[in-house]
Amino acid sequence: MKNLLPFDNKWKEFYAYEKALLLHVLKGQKIVNIEHVGATSVVMCGTCGTIDVLCGIQTSLDFITIKNILIRQGYTFIENQSDYLSHLLFVRRNPNKQIVATIRLVEYGSDVYNRIMAFKYYLKERDSNVRKYNEFRSALLEKYNGDMSQYQIVKSDYIESILNDFCVFK
């Protein structure tokens, strides 16, 4: 069974490396913003150890160009979790084939972009939000015995239910 790792300041360094790598690889592309999101971006949040990056681009019309660049640079495109209308998902793996970073390519300012950022701010708003999120994910990992695909589905539903309670998204 997989367990959550405690927060570690090294996640900030890993994110800085990932951001620099993306800026280098995507030099000349219309990148508006690159954000550290997910559990590794929130103090006290447990994590599965993957750096989550939100890459806001000027327009979704650039999806195909950027997708091709990232694939040529060794990123893996995750087709079954990508939606060409709203976002593309990629992972970068280390030499042992472990996922070290997920990159979500999203049009800057879109609903998807804003929802991802809203959840990050929700977690940062109160320690109790982080504690509840950690407890929920720990229970999921135990329930699904490390089946990460099932874990991701239920976790996504949980996040959506929280965001739907935010008055901004009603």
Domains (range + CATH), the chain: 10-169 (3.30.460.10)
Report residue 148's pLDDT band, with 50, 70 and 90 as the boundaries.
confident
Report residue 170's pLDDT band, with 50, 70 and 90 as the boundaries.
very low
Q: Sort 83 into a burial class: Cβ within 10 Å, 0-12 / 13-18 / 19+.
A: exposed
Residue 92 has pLDDT above 90, yes or no: yes
pLDDT tens digits, one per residue of 96-136: 999 999 999 999 999 999 999 999 999 999 999 999 999 99
3-state percent breakdown (helix, strand, coil) of the chain, nearest 5:
50, 20, 30
Query: Which residues make beta-bridge pairs with 82?
Result: none
H helix intervals, 26-147: 63-72, 111-125, 127-143
Residue 109: what pLDDT? Answer: 94
pLDDT tens digits, one per residue of 27-51: 999 999 999 999 999 999 999 889 9
Rounded to an integer, the average pLDDT of 131-147 is 89
User: Over the Cα atoms of the chain, what is R_g?
Assistant: 16
Residue 166: what pLDDT? Answer: 66
